[in-house]
Amino acid sequence: FDLTDQLTSILTRKNTDPQIASLKTTDILIVPEIENVTSLDFEIATSAIPLAHRATMDQSHRLSWLALPELEFQDYLASLRRNSVDTLLVQNIELITDSTVNPELLKNKLHIVPGPIAVSEIEAAVDELYGLELFSQVPYRFSDGKLLIQPQKRDWGPNYLQFGLGLQDNFQGRNHYNLGMALTLTERNPHAGEWRTELNIGERPLLSTEWFQPLGRRGNWFVNPSIAVKAFNRGLFDEDNLIAEYQIRQAQVEMGAGYTFGPKAEVRLDILHGEGTRRRLIGDPAIDTVGANTGLVTLGVRYDSLDSLYFPRQGKTLDVGWVWSNSALGADTNYRAWRLSLSQAVSSANHTLLVSTDLNSVYRGEAPFHEQFTLGGFLNLSGLEVDQKVGQHLAIGRLVYSYRWLSSPILPAYVGATLETGQIWQDKDNVNFSNLEVAGSLFLGLDSPIGPIYLAFGLTQGGAKSIYVFLGQPF
């Protein structure tokens, strides 16, 4: 992990060098003679303590000028002690920020009013502002009846460019790759409007752009229109043998709207219309090019308290949705479907276990080939090809164990394993949990500044295997 050491050293020196250069002749700089101990060497870090103590004592003649008489020092310590309180009597709430977002909107999102306020309520209100992902920190202080909250704009942004690369190889000559890029422009107006554009090349080419606009006094309501042009390949398999493959191309327009309940929950309604084609790449020549049109309404409720999107250590998610597809909206077929996703992460020391399940079903009519549920790929019966299993009903459960073996604040590293079991069925009468397929994987993960980095190997009970590489933000 020489690269990790170098990256950490660069980032550390970037902060310390300007500070050292700003020192005056009256300042005291203590530099212990420490060799072969870096900021990542936690196991041997204690060996540096005696060296640091020796370097400090060598400067004792200069440090003594800073010392206070004993009585004055005790008074100083006493002035630092504060009695902890559970409730503050707030007479006035003031919010000051350097963000372009309307301060009144931010203040309204606090959900607190003058009067007796529990400290826990203030902390929750501050967390909600921080959850907007617009501020580097949201400090607050209370003095003489006034609660002052000062959200501080991030030093980076407000525009963000992300990259992601995903690779999969099944050791039999078939591989998949995707290279993605996304540009997100935040704080587009005083009501925190956001514009995001994505571009993918590879197995799933995509060009999409969307606008997210909070509405209302507290910004809880929102609209989210988007347009996209995309394509993806979908195969038909007999066991693990590919017998046909099709490419689906679509142009889509979508309008979403909903309501957020703080930073963790939302309910939203989407209307989607798409027009496209399904073209044969491999298979029966009698099936050439046919339509692949979409017209549906989705209603969803989501709760998410996970503390990390890619390496969660605690929290849970709940996602419930309903789909209504109808030819009146341009769909090829009429059908109804529902989905349910649950997950829970628990941790002890450096050990984490994530338990999750997905259940999806078309309960009326039949979804067309390009809208059916799929399984295959990392964490979706690892070892199978991407979207290898296709059908009208889906069930999968996962156990994901990870161990944080490198606790660097710059580049934490994880090793882990997964156990997955699931299946897809075409007919509801065939749904039977006795024929679930079992798969698993081993992985190495890094939570890097550019996004997650994964190297994984997946294997199914039938012997299908794949290797996966993900660099940066996946799209």
Q: 157-168: per-residue pLDDT in tens?
A: 789 999 999 999
**Using one digit for the tens of pLDDT, what is the confidence trace for 379-414?**
999 999 999 999 999 999 999 999 999 887 778 999
230-234-235 Cα angle (round to 5): 165
CB 63 within 8 A of CB 80: no
**Using one digit for the tens of pLDDT, what is the confidence trace for 201-259?**
998 999 999 999 999 999 999 999 999 999 999 988 887 788 889 999 999 999 999 99
pLDDT (average), residues 165-193: 90
Structure tokens at 289: 């090019």
List Cβ neighbours of 143 (8 Å cut-off, separation of 6 or more).
none
Q: For the chain, which domains are there?
A: 2-80 (no CATH), 87-153 (3.10.20.310), 164-472 (2.40.160.50)
Q: Is the pLDDT of residue 90 over 50?
A: yes
**Using one digit for the tens of pLDDT, what is the confidence trace for 276-316?**
999 998 877 766 788 999 999 999 999 999 999 899 999 99
With 0-12 CB in 10 A as exposed, 13-18 as middle and 19+ as buried, what is 382? buried
For residue 188, the one-letter residue type is R
Count the Cβ atoms, other than its own, within 10 Å of residue 379: 19
- The helix or strand, by DSSP H or E, that contains position 5, with its residue range, turns out to be helix 2-21
User: How confident is the model at residue 36, as a pLDDT?
Assistant: 67
User: How confident is the model at residue 260, as a pLDDT?
Assistant: 94
Nearest-angstrom CA–CA distance, 165 and 163: 7
Beta strands (DSSP E) in 369-412 are: 373-375, 389-391, 393-406
Q: What is the mean pLDDT of the chain?
A: 90
Structure tokens at 124: 């929750």
Q: Is the pLDDT of residue 17 over 80?
A: no
Task: Please report where in the chains the tokens 């490419």 appear, as a residue.
Answer: 247
HSE toward the beta carbon, residue 52, CA cutoff 13 A: 6
Instruction: State the distance between the two ends of the chain, measured CA to CA, in whole angstroms.
Output: 27
Structure tokens at 451: 């996004």
Q: Is the pLDDT of residue 473 over 90?
A: no
Residue 29 pLDDT grade (very low, low, confident, very high; cuts 50, 70, 90): confident
How far is CA 29 from each of CA 19, 110, 236, 428, rounded to the nearest angstrom?
A: 11, 43, 68, 73
Structure tokens at 418: 């997964």
Nearest-angstrom CA–CA distance, 162 and 182: 5
**Using one digit for the tens of pLDDT, what is the confidence trace for 98-132?**
999 999 999 998 889 999 999 999 998 998 898 88
Nearest-angstrom CA–CA distance, 424 and 220: 37
Beta strands (DSSP E) in 96-172 are: 115-118, 135-137, 140-143, 146-149, 152-153, 159-169
User: How confident is the model at residue 74, as a pLDDT?
Assistant: 85
Q: Which of 38-42, 57-61, 139-143, 262-266 has the lowest mean pLDDT?
A: 38-42
